[in-house]
């Protein structure tokens, strides 16, 4: 029997267990950096398979190795994130969250159970592939500084060092049965901006005696957008959005200060630094010219996610071979962030999307919503495809 058929049979055979694991995780979600029960569950499942997991990396991270033939020949890393979100689940399903106010609303339960399924398939087939697979179960994708950055600091990309990293993410906008890829720039860096513009408040009828922070802040917002339109290279996708602008006066009272919060997202690390530097300088300069003082704080988020072009092309072609051309689609840029980006900055990486949408069954809600759910057919596709991609990539020297 050919290896792809063997994988498909095993994925099908293990699907009910993968779904049961997903449902257990969905019922028992844990917030970022608190995935203690999840990590124990993952480690136990890996032991049941016959692996020897290494626990406690980045506190709740779990890593395991599957050696094929010639284990030194090449190493590929497979990553799943394990954390849930502070959301009250509104789905009335048998596997509804029992940890009230915490929900797997980003599909990380799917990623974790799917990687457990992949582990089981690859362990079963270990005599039939070359090289080593490194399974990476990481904490805290949803919370800065991101579990991936800590896992890397604690050495997850060494001993053995993966030549490439693969990660998959559920996609509620892609029909189940389809897979999406994109070479190169894919997701954005995510930095947060916090400004306090201080002036001198007072009666709105006497603006000449005041320093109006509302007017200053308005100029700052408009001017910062011009950095995006005038200083950015047009080829660099960027977003600057402000969602909080608090000037807590009334019709005839100008407040002492205004607070502004926003997010800057782009896909070029050099431009990211340059853009942030310009924003700070402009906000402080305008405020000072108008007589006020600006506190400008930047909270750095994740870098941008770049899919290594050759690796991603290879993985897309392999996915076509496994799934059929009609089931593999190209993705658009997405200005959201993802901490898989940390891996992509230091090792050849490919982050792809696993379709989970089923319109006929009403499974259409976006990630990070209280009604998010997946078509669980994806739990047969995910482990099979990832096993196939890993084995095929390991075969390439």
Contact present, 281 and 223 (Cβ < 8 Å): no
- Stretch of 62-70, 102-110, 218-226, 286-294 lying at the interface with Zn ion (CB under 5 A): 102-110
Q: Which of 143, 161, 144 is nearest to 152 (CA)?
A: 161
Q: Which two tokens stand for residue 301?
A: 């988020």
Q: Is 15 in the site for Zn ion (CB under 5 A)?
A: no
Q: Is 381 in the site for Zn ion (CB under 5 A)?
A: no
Q: Which of 107, 109, 103 is nearest to 91 (CA)?
A: 103
Q: Is 266 in the site for Zn ion (CB under 5 A)?
A: no
CA 349-355-359 angle, to 5 degrees, is 160
Between 103 and 197, name the residue whose CB sits nearer to Zn ion.
103
Q: Closest distance between Zn ion and the C-beta of residue 26, in Å?
A: 14
Q: Kindly identify the residues of this chain, within the stretch 164-183, that bind Zn ion according to CB under 5 A.
A: none
Q: How far is the C-alpha of 45 from the C-alpha of 113, rounded, in Å?
A: 10
Q: Which of 249, 265, 255, 262 is nearest to 197 (CA)?
A: 255
Q: Is 87 in the site for Zn ion (CB under 5 A)?
A: no
117 Cβ contact partners less than 8 Å away, ≥ 6 residues apart: 11, 14, 15, 17, 18, 21, 379, 382, 383
Between 165 and 197, name the residue whose CB sits nearer to Zn ion.
165
Q: Closest distance between Zn ion and the C-beta of residue 93, in Å?
A: 20
Between 106 and 136, name the residue whose CB sits nearer to Zn ion.
106
Q: Which two tokens stand for residue 224?
A: 């910062």
Q: Which two tokens stand for residue 42?
A: 């993952």
Q: How far is the C-alpha of 114 from the C-alpha of 205, rounded, in Å?
A: 64
Q: Closest distance between Zn ion and the C-beta of residue 84, in Å?
A: 10
Contact present, 395 and 129 (Cβ < 8 Å): yes
83 is catalytic: yes
Between 106 and 165, name the residue whose CB sits nearer to Zn ion.
106
Using Cβ positions, the residue closest to Zn ion within the complex turns out to be 106
Catalytic residue, chosen from 30, 35, 83, 268, is 83
Alpha helix ranges (H) inside the chain: 3-27, 36-49, 108-124, 147-153, 213-230, 269-289, 309-323, 341-346, 378-394
- Stretch of 96-104, 105-113, 234-242, 303-311 lying at the interface with Zn ion (CB under 5 A): 105-113
Binding residues for Zn ion, rule CB under 5 A, total 1
Q: How far is the C-alpha of 120 from the C-alpha of 271, rounded, in Å?
A: 43
Between 155 and 366, name the residue whose CB sits nearer to Zn ion.
366
- Stretch of 44-52, 100-108, 253-261, 311-319 lying at the interface with Zn ion (CB under 5 A): 100-108
User: In this chain, which of 39, 80, 106, 227 binds Zn ion, going by CB under 5 A?
Assistant: 106
CA distances from 54 to 21, 41, 66 (A): 20, 13, 12
141 is catalytic: yes
Q: Closest distance between Zn ion and the C-beta of residue 320, in Å?
A: 25
Q: Is 363 in the site for Zn ion (CB under 5 A)?
A: no
Q: Which of 130, 146, 128 is nearest to 138 (CA)?
A: 146
Q: Closest distance between Zn ion and the C-beta of residue 339, in Å?
A: 9
- Stretch of 103-111, 221-229, 233-241, 349-357 lying at the interface with Zn ion (CB under 5 A): 103-111
Q: Is 115 in the site for Zn ion (CB under 5 A)?
A: no
Catalytic residue, chosen from 109, 141, 142, 268, is 141
Q: Which two tokens stand for residue 248?
A: 């807590």
Between 66 and 140, name the residue whose CB sits nearer to Zn ion.
140
Q: Is 305 in the site for Zn ion (CB under 5 A)?
A: no
Q: Closest distance between Zn ion and the C-beta of residue 165, in Å?
A: 16
Distance of CA 391 to the CA centre of its chain: 24
Q: Closest distance between Zn ion and the C-beta of residue 338, in Å?
A: 7
> Which chain residues interact with Zn ion by CB under 5 A?
106
Active-site residue numbers? 83, 141
């Amino acid at each position: 029997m050919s290896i792809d058929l063997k994988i498909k049979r095993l994925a099908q055979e293990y699907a009910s267990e993968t779904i049961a694991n997903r449902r257990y995780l969905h019922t028992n979600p844990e917030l970022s950096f608190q995935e203690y029960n999840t990590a124990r569950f993952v480690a136990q499942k890996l032991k049941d398979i016959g692996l020897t997991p290494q626990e406690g990396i980045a506190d709740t991270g779990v890593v395991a190795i599957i050696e094929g033939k010639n284990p030194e020949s090449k190493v590929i890393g497979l990553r799943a994130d394990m954390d849930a979100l502070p959301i009250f689940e509104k789905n009335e399903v048998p596997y509804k969250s029992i940890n009230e106010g915490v929900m797997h609303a980003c599909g990380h339960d799917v990623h974790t159970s799917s990687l457990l399924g992949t582990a089981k398939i690859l362990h079963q087939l270990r005599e039939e592939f070359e090289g080593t697979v490194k399974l990476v179960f990481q904490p805290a994708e949803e919370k800065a500084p991101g579990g991936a950055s800590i896992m890397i600091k604690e050495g997850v990309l060494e001993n053995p060092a993966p030549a490439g990293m693969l990660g998959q993410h559920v996609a509620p906008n892609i029909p189940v049965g389809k897979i999406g890829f994109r070479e190169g720039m894919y997701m954005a860096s995510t930095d947060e901006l916090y400004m306090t513009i201080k002036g001198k408040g007072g009666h709105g009828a006497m603006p000449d005696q005041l320093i109006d922070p509302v007017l200053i802040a308005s100029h700052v917002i408009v001017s910062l957008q011009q950095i995006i339109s005038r200083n950015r290279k047009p080829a660099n996708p960027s977003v600057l959005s402000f969602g909080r602008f608090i000037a807590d006066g009334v019709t005839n009272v100008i407040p002492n200060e205004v607070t502004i919060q926003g997010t800057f997202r782009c896909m070029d690390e050099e431009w990211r630094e340059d853009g942030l530097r310009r924003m700070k300088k402009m906000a402080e300069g305008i405020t000072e010219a108008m007589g006020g003082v600006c506190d400008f704080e930047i909270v750095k988020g994740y870098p941008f996610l770049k899919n290594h072009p050759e690796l991603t092309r290879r993985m897309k072609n392999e996915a076509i071979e496994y799934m059929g051309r009609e089931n593999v689609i190209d993705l658009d840029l997405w200005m959201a962030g993802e901490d898989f980006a940390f891996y992509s900055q230091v090792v050849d990486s490919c982050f792809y999307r696993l379709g989970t949408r089923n319109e006929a069954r009403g499974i259409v809600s976006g990630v990070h919503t209280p009604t998010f759910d997946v078509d669980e057919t994806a739990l047969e596709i995910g482990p099979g495809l990832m096993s196939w991609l890993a084995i095929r990539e390991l075969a390439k020297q």
